[in-house]
Amino acid sequence: MKILRLALPLLFVTLAACTSGGTLSADSFLADEDATGASSDGFPAPSQASVWEVAMRTVREQGYVPDPDASSPIAGKIVSRWRTSLQPFSGQGWRERVSVKIVPVPSRSNYYTLETNVLRQLNDNLGEPGNPLRAEWAEGGRNGERERYINRRVEMSFLPTDVSKEFRRKYDLPTREDPRYKPKPPKKKEGGLIPGLPFP
């Protein structure tokens, strides 16, 4: 009996560790987020504050509620609360959280890019998947389509509407310079045993 009394606390600690290991908290999930996300091209805007306002409106339009404690126009960041959709079957319920980072383009004044993450978690609870109090959230990846859509909506708010280059070429219309900024990839260094071949 004495051995049993000593073993029971150890058993409970082991079970607790196994139970908590399969679920991710919101803080730990956001700490491991992909810092790059979906990046937009550089686009002109009057100020970072104006980009923040448009991005905030776009996030709301997509059904997400911004978290005022985690969002800041000065820092150029927007973080939403969790948007939850519970389902009657395990693994089908989900929740998503959006973060948008506004990054000034170093080489161009009043040009900005967006780094947007839409992080998803799945509810793995087997007994009561429709009960929000019993949900067991596990990593579910990113919603890349929603990330690109948010970037595009914000970007187009600051770009002039225009016809495509193909349309202008077809009807012999004068071309216009694309106001977006796309930095060129760095050139590969050449070297190695054979001249002209890049380093491995």
Q: Give helix 144-158 / helix 48-61 axis angle, nearest 10°.
A: 130
* CA–CA gap between residue 39 and residue 57 (Å, rounded): 19
pLDDT in tens, 53-64: 999 999 999 999
* CA–CA gap between residue 118 and residue 141 (Å, rounded): 9
Domain-wise residue ranges, the chain: 22-158
Q: Which of 152, 82, 88, 154 is nearest to 120 (CA)?
A: 82
pLDDT in tens, 160-183: 766 566 766 766 656 666 667 776
pLDDT in tens, 3-48: 444 444 444 333 333 333 333 333 433 434 445 578 988 899 999 9
Predicted TM-score (pTM) of this structure: 0.66
Work out the number of other CB atoms within 10 angstroms of the CB of residue 175.
8
pLDDT in tens, 81-118: 999 988 888 888 899 999 999 999 998 899 999 999 99
Identify the pLDDT of residue 17: 35
- For domain 22-158, give the CATH number: 3.30.530
